[in-house]
Structure 1
Amino acid sequence: MNRVRWSVGIGLLMVLLLAFVGGCDKKETAAPETKPDAQAQPADQPAQQGKTEEVAFDEDAKPKTFAGSHILIAYQGAMRANPSVTRTKEEAKKLADELAAQVSKAPATLPDVAKQKSDCPSAPQGGDLGTWMSGMMIPEFQAALEKMEIGAVSPTPVETQFGFHIIRRNTPTPTEEVMAEHIIVMHKDTIRPQEGVTRTKEEAQARAKEAADKAKAAPDTFGEVAKAYSDDPGRNLPAWTTGTGHMPKEVDAAVLGMKVGDVSDPIETPFGYFVLRRIELPPKFAGSHILIQYKGATRAPETITRTKEEALALAKDLRAKAVADPSTFAALARQHSEEPSASQNGGYLGAWMKGSMVPVFDEAIEKLKIGEIGEPVESPYGFHVILRQDPDAPPPAAPAPEPVPGQQP
């Protein structure tokens, strides 16, 4: 789980990333939602906490990572086929069959063939799609890849709505949680360049090198250099896990080779040239909470009529019960918390980086030990009873379904 506060600029980068993968094989997805406060429900809520009093953990809940390259042979009428593609579906299938027979005998040749023949935006990168988590690719593509050994090429083309694919399974990029500041310099041939970008690739490369040289000479001025050179108004990338497909593979590879404080040389990607400065990750927290609201609290529904004093008294009472028997925390949250999702997830918020929650929430949980339940803390949303949990532990297992009356268990 990777909870982060998205900057204004990262929205632009996510649009570019989704445009790229959408033209190949990855599912249409939206950028993760911001979690602006402790009441907001995370977009990537993990498996929900169980109904049993003992907290169970699901080891299989952790997504697997995959990597691959491909050659896409599109046809007229296929989804997102370039207007220049005029071949029929039958012609595309015939060409794909020929290329599959050729490349499956010599998997190392796939990048060169992809550069010459593929209709995917990944063609200039030799068809390399990088690394992604399970569930990100469209089912037909993912199912075919999972049956293959690393290094193997599909002997027959795989058909999807985009056309026919010759797939090679690659070794995934190592996973590590990282964070960096960035400068991105686009050119007119990048994927969806910003309006008004007319510079050539050579001009973009020279501009990125100039920015990198200035940032290396005085790393503490990276922010000022970014303002002067970057085509993305955001400076900080949100924390991400390498090898999960959230950032271009070239960026993943570069940041893994950097120490905190290092500034990179220009990194060529399909979206332009990146210059990175690796920065230290903020502290990571995980926890559950019980939210008790009062009349007039932010986002409190009209059905909430209790006073602030009554809300505090109820929060203290629930905290006392949870401290007496911590295994009941989830059950108490499901029964009493006024966070909309608590009835299902037992108040579990998952893991997040410091700075993602409202400050008073982060400050409160930072003072607790893992497993400790704190005194009620007031935020604009009401009073929170917080249980600090281990951010590196697997997410709680999903609850057992409610029995249906009359049915055998």
Structure 2
Amino acid sequence: MNFQINRRGLLKTAAAGAAFGALQPFNRAFAATDLVWMTWENLAKDDYLAAFLKGGDVSLTKNFIGTDDEQFAKLRAGGASSVDLITPGLDKVEYYVASDLLQPIDFAKVPNAALLYDTFKKTDLGKKDGKTYGIPFYWGINPIVYRADLMDGEPDWSVFFEGDKYKGKLAMRDYALEGIMIAALYLGIPKDKMFDMDDKELAEVKKALLAQKKLLRTYWNSIGDLTNLFASGEVVCAFSWVPPYYDLSARGLKMGMAKPKAGVIGWCDTIAVPKGVEGEKLDKVFSLVNYLLGPEYGEKLAFGGPYAQGTSAALDKLPDEQKEKIFVKDLSIMDSFVWKKNPARYNDWVALWNEVKAS
């Protein structure tokens, strides 16, 4: 963004024959610092960012991603030199750090980070050697969503593995990591052991997933497709993202959302700064990071998502109804969260998942 002020039309003839010396035009150029943010489209809406950009000293170029893998691939291919801020998953930050793509966060320049929820302050994810490389930015849960008008009561994880009552009307996401996590939760495998299961435990998981497959209507990939299956009644219960619950409730369907006591899968994306951003630009980047963790952005995100940011900065701005929608009215829900991690044997997990689907 360039602003140019020219002195023109300011010369008036004071009297006939009056002469002025040569006056050079007066120009001042204000150049805003352009920051490039690689992120999800739903996080960079214009009205979310308007309060930060109104000063005019920063402009923002948005580089939207479709998957975290795509973002990682772009940075590894050299994109880090042209990107100032990225949005990796909390469980993926370690890959970026291992590839030497990120720089640690300077918390002195991000005062709103002091308002991070305790769960995020305590987690080891996004950190290495005592330094934070990805600040938990926004988060939510992936619950069980169900047609309350077509089921007898609130389900738990066992509905996907036991009994025939809802056979052919259940759905599971086609994702090895989450699918195997859910089987482990059902089997009672401890959370601290879940991502380091041995052969015996993986064999138990496979047996449970084979039993599950017989009960499923489908493995879903598109949340839009799942929403349509709910609407038609072809699926009455699914491991899901939150949107179908609100979407179909708004259409008048009686929907339910279950958060099993055995554990709820939580998700979180972070804000991270690529290595190589420095000087005045780095200061502007941390200023943006601080805004993204602050009350103005948090309020917009809470209503527009609806999603919760990683800090409590916007809590006082939200009515109880909205707090409940983004799971911050009762923060004890975080006690049951199982955050996704990267299993050391993930290739074995993927192979197991594919074997089950092909059976």
- Higher normalized contact order (CA 8 Å, seq sep 6+, divided by chain length): 2
More helix by share: 2
Say yes or no: TM over 0.5. Answer: no
TM normalised by structure 2 equals 0.23
